[in-house]
Chains A and B, each alone.
Chain A
Amino acid sequence: MSRSPEAEVTVAFYTVEESEFTGWTGGLLVLSASGRPVEFQCTLPIRPTRTHEILYGPTLRDFLIGEAIGSTLIKRCRHTPSLLCCNQPEALQLESVCGSPIALVSEAAERDEGPITDEMLPGYDHCELAGSTLRVAVERIEAVREIITQLPFMPDMLEPFDRIREAISEAQKQIARARAA
Chain B
Amino acid sequence: MQNLVIEIDHARSFDADSLLPRDVWSLAIDPIEATSIPIRMQTIDVKTVGFQFPRFGGSSGIQRLRGENKTPGQPHAHVAPHDAPPRRKLAPGKLTRIKPPADVVKLEDRLFYLLQPPLELLVGSEQLDFPFEPFPYQLDGIAFLFPRYAAILADEMGLGKTMQAISTIRLLLCSGEVRSVLLICPKPLVTNWLREFSVWAPEIPVAPIEGNSPTRAYQWTSPDIAVKIANYELLMRDRDTVLDNDQHFDLVVLDEAQRIKNQKNTTSGIVREISRTRSWALTGTPVENSPEDLVGIFEFLSPGYLKSDMPVASIAKATRDHMLRRTKDMVMTDMPPKLYRDAELELTAEQRATYEKAETDGVVQLENLEQQLTIQHVFELVLRLKQICNFDPATGSSAKLERLVADMEEVAASGQKAIVFSQWVKSIDAMRPALERFGPLEYHGRVPHKHRDGVINQFKTDPSKHVILMSYGAGSVGLNLQFCRYVFLFDRWWNPAVEDQAINRAHRIGAAGSVTVTRMLMQNTIEQRIAAVLDQKREMFDELFNDAKSPAGAGLSREEIFGLFNLRSPKGRIAA
> Which A residues contact B (CB, under 8 angstroms)?
6, 8, 26, 29, 32-44, 46, 48-49, 51-52, 55, 64, 68-69, 72-73, 76-79, 130-131, 149-150, 152-156, 158-159, 163, 166-167, 170-171, 174
Contact B111 A64 (CB under 8 A): no
Min CB gap B37→A, angstroms: 12
- B117 interface contact, C-beta 8 A: yes
Knowing A36-B116, A170-B107, say if A44 contacts B44 (CB, 8 Å): no
Contact A156 B111 (CB under 8 A): no
Q: Which residue of the partner chain, among A38, A40, A46, A153, contacts B55 with CB atoms under 8 Å?
A: A38
Contact B55 A32 (CB under 8 A): yes
List 12 additional A-B contacts (Cβ < 8 Å) besides A29-B115, A46-B44. A26-B46, A35-B122, A36-B117, A37-B53, A52-B41, A64-B44, A149-B81, A156-B117, A159-B121, A166-B97, A170-B107, A171-B111
CA A169 – CA B42 in complex, angstroms?
A: 27
Which A residues are in CB contact (< 8 Å) with B79? 152
Which of A72, A73, A153 is packed against the most chain B CB atoms within 10 Å? A153
Contact A41 B48 (CB under 8 A): yes
Which B residues are in CB contact (< 8 Å) with A153? 84, 125-127
Q: Which residue of the partner chain, among A40, A55, A156, contacts B90 with CB atoms under 8 Å?
A: A156
CA A153 – CA B53 in complex, angstroms?
A: 20
CA A164 – CA B90 in complex, angstroms?
A: 18
CA A152 – CA B83 in complex, angstroms?
A: 9
Q: Mark B182-223, 1 if CB is under 8 A from A, else 0.
A: 000000000000000000000000000000000000000000
Contact B44 A52 (CB under 8 A): yes
Which A residues are in CB contact (< 8 Å) with B44? 46, 48, 52, 64, 68
Which A residues are in CB contact (< 8 Å) with B50? 39-42, 76-78
- B60 interface contact, C-beta 8 A: yes
Contact B60 A34 (CB under 8 A): yes
Contact A159 B49 (CB under 8 A): no
Contact A158 B115 (CB under 8 A): no
10 interchain pairs, CB-CB under 8 A: A34-B60, A39-B51, A40-B50, A51-B39, A52-B44, A55-B41, A77-B50, A79-B52, A153-B125, A153-B127
Which B residues are in CB contact (< 8 Å) with A32? 55
Which B residues are in CB contact (< 8 Å) with A48? 44
CA A131 – CA B88 in complex, angstroms?
A: 9
Min CB gap A68→B, angstroms: 5
Which B residues are in CB contact (< 8 Å) with A33? 60
Q: Mark B44-64, 1 if CB is under 8 A from A, else 0.
A: 101111111101001110000
Min CB gap B455→A, angstroms: 46
Closest to A54 in B: B39
- B70 interface contact, C-beta 8 A: no
Q: Which residue of the partner chain, among A40, A49, A51, A79, contacts B111 with CB atoms under 8 Å?
A: A40
CA A149 – CA B399 in complex, angstroms?
A: 73
- B12 interface contact, C-beta 8 A: no
Closest to B87 in A: A130
Contact B87 A78 (CB under 8 A): no
Contact A159 B46 (CB under 8 A): no
Which A residues are in CB contact (< 8 Å) with B47? 43-44
Closest to B82 in A: A152
Min CB gap A92→B, angstroms: 19
Min CB gap A59→B, angstroms: 13
Contact B121 A155 (CB under 8 A): yes
